Amino acid sequence: MFRKILIANRGEIALRIIQACRELGIPTVAVYATADRDSLHVTYADEEVCIGPPPSGQSYLNISALVSAAEITGADAIHPGYGFLAENAHFAEVLAECNLAWIGPPPEVIRRMGDKAAARRTAVEAGVPVLPGSGEPLASLSEARQLAAGVGFPVILKAAAGGGGRGMRIVRSEAELDKSFETASHEALKAFGDGSIYLEKYLEEPRHIEFQVFGDSHGNVIHLGERECSIQRRHQKIIEEAPSPALTPELREKMGEASVRLCQHVGYQNAGTIEYLLDHDGSFYFMEMNTRIQVEHPVTEMVTGVDLVKLQIAIAAGERLTIPSGLRHRGHAIECRINAEDPRTFAPSPGRLTTFHLPGGPGVRVDTHGYEDYVVPPHYDSLVAKLIAHGNDREEAIARMKRALDFFVIEGIRTIIPLHREILRDPVFRSGRFSTRFMEGFQGRRAAEAKDQ
């Protein structure tokens, strides 16, 4: 096992990793930008190192500073969390050259599965269904036109080198294609340093289903079931749950087998997520793979009882997977992302937390780095907390989440807690029959109700 782990991240995920290391008896090193000097991950780590000013490029994305921090503190492993450098193959290679362990998949796998076009080819090789589209990044607008005509509109343009909705455009006609192609490419170049774009057939109202996978260095691969991620705004997830209300046992088995097959094909190690689009007829299509731990991993932890972060660390240390394939799930779990945003306009709302009261009670978990008097900085993502509720079934999980949201009090900034309360009361959400376009319909219903009042 590792002597000391440096956490190359911030916020709630850094604190979550510290908690796992504390249970394993492994000392931790927190790195921080000056804006995070008073963050809880700095407080609770065994050691801390300031790595630069607030801009991410000068701190959390500064590979030289991170390696230096590991060397001066004697850390022998680095956990990247999610975001920042978590899916950066070059960073993983640098660590190997410096004799530092990387708590994640091998760099060649990150590179292969992180590039969407390459990942699509790999899925085809493994016999996993993919949407009709380009197998390679598009060479030109004329190629995009020809391909779109072949698969039929609507289509979607996606950045080959990234995700999170950036470099992504839905195109419903050839007239839209010219402008969208240029815009998506420019946005991808700005966000990921690579303007490559590929094209796929666009499904009008699919569900977004992801499977949690793990592999070890001994050739063992398992999946720990799915998460429903269809409640999202501009391709950014808002609410996640497990199990998905849409999956039958037969479909779950089929999608799980495809996920394991793909991981075996690439020799996958550590934590990862296979993401699918699920059509209304039960057809599913590989979308992408995230080669890291996910923001929503607590949902799976609540229904399986498995600590995914501790499992990551054990696998990186060379241990075998001891969890049986087909682990039985218990009950239902839902996660609400509590972002520092206006619940109506979604404008960021950084600032000081004047009141911060956490909910509790049966089946409730809160992952957060917030506390009363903490200042949410404007430099990073707006996630303040993750609120997770678990129940014997979906109805009880929703009831517990509603209760937890009512008892979660944050003052001094705006958060999307009021939005979550509204979503959980929405009849379409409660029915479980929704798609990735849920938020469009929900906001329309909300506007109509406001007009009638």
Mean local confidence (pLDDT), 347-374: 98
Kindly state the tokens that stand for 392.
Answer: 């014997």
Instruction: State yes or no: pLDDT of 163 exceeds 80.
Output: no
Kindly state the tokens that stand for 204.
Answer: 């009008």
Q: How confident is residue 335, by pLDDT bands cut at 50, 70 and 90?
A: very high
* Active centre residues (catalytic): 292
Over residues 199-258, the pLDDT tens digits come to 999 999 999 999 999 999 999 999 999 999 999 998 899 999 999 999 999 999 999 999
What's the rounded Cα separation, in Å, for the pair 266 and 299?
26
Over residues 249-265, the pLDDT tens digits come to 999 999 999 999 999 99
What is the rounded average pLDDT for all residues in the chain? Answer: 95
How large a percentage of the chain has pLDDT more than 90? 86
Tell me the fold of 207-452: D-amino Acid Aminotransferase; Chain A, domain 1 (3.30.470)
Over residues 24-44, the pLDDT tens digits come to 999 999 999 999 999 999 999
Instruction: State yes or no: pLDDT of 325 exceeds 80.
Output: no
The predicted pLDDT at position 296 comes to: 98
The predicted pLDDT at position 446 comes to: 79
Tell me the fold of 132-201: Dna Ligase; domain 1 (3.30.1490)
Paired residues of 337 in beta bridges: 386
Q: How confident is residue 388, by pLDDT bands cut at 50, 70 and 90?
A: very high
Strand residues in 234-281 grouped as ranges (E): 236-242, 270-278
The predicted pLDDT at position 140 comes to: 92
Over residues 263-318, the pLDDT tens digits come to 999 999 999 999 999 999 999 999 999 999 999 999 999 999 999 999 999 999 99
Q: So what CATH class is 5-103? A: alpha beta
The predicted pLDDT at position 230 comes to: 98
> Cβ atoms within 10 A of the Cβ of 82, count?
16
The predicted pLDDT at position 164 comes to: 63
Kindly state the tokens that stand for 368.
Answer: 């957060």
Contact 241, 224 (CB under 8 A): no
The predicted pLDDT at position 1 comes to: 93
Shared fold status for 5-103 and 207-452: no
Instruction: State yes or no: pLDDT of 412 exceeds 70.
Output: yes
> Cβ atoms within 10 A of the Cβ of 19, count?
15
Which residue in this structure is represented by tokens 């379409």?
Answer: 428
Over residues 95-115, the pLDDT tens digits come to 999 999 999 999 999 999 988
Lowest model confidence (mean pLDDT) among 129-133, 188-192, 213-217, 412-416: 188-192
The predicted pLDDT at position 50 comes to: 98
Domain ranges of the chain: 5-103, 132-201, 207-452
What's the rounded Cα separation, in Å, for the pair 133 and 425?
38
The predicted pLDDT at position 191 comes to: 79
Q: How confident is residue 166, by pLDDT bands cut at 50, 70 and 90?
A: confident
Q: How confident is residue 453, by pLDDT bands cut at 50, 70 and 90?
A: low
Mean local confidence (pLDDT), 414-421: 98
Mean local confidence (pLDDT), 354-383: 97
Instruction: State yes or no: pLDDT of 120 exceeds 70.
Output: yes
The predicted pLDDT at position 192 comes to: 81
- Strand 169-171: give its sheet, edge to edge: 169-171, 155-159, 197-201
The predicted pLDDT at position 135 comes to: 75
